[in-house]
Amino acid sequence: MTTVLADTTDFRTLLGEELGLHIGADDLDRPLADFPDWDSVLLLRMVTVVEAATGRRVAVADLLQARTFRQLYEAVAGR
């Protein structure tokens, strides 16, 4: 994996800079349903941004099972 997403801080920074979605460290384990701006369109935008940043494909099926931003990070980071 590239160091672009070496940790959740990098992931949160990418979400903020590229999607305007500002997630605090304490928000990583909150359910995605708690974020009114989060939807399937934003998920697809995130996939595009992560793929561009890392240079590798993201398994969307894994992301669809994620219930928190930490789980999203783990899926895109391959953890």
What confidence tens digit (pLDDT) does each residue in 8-64 have?
Answer: 999 999 999 999 999 999 999 999 999 998 999 999 999 999 999 989 899 999 999
Whole-angstrom CA distances from 57 to 37, 46, 73 are 24, 12, 14
Specify the CATH number for the domain of residue 34.
1.10.1200.10
Distant-in-sequence, close-in-space partners of 43: CB < 8 Å, separation ≥ 6 = 60, 63, 64
Give the structural domain span for 28: 3-77
Which of the 8 DSSP states describes residue 62? H
Domain count, the chain: 1
Could you tell me the pTM of the whole model?
A: 0.90
Which of the 8 DSSP states describes residue 50? H
Type of residue numbered 70: R
Please give the structure tokens belonging to residue 24: 């605090």
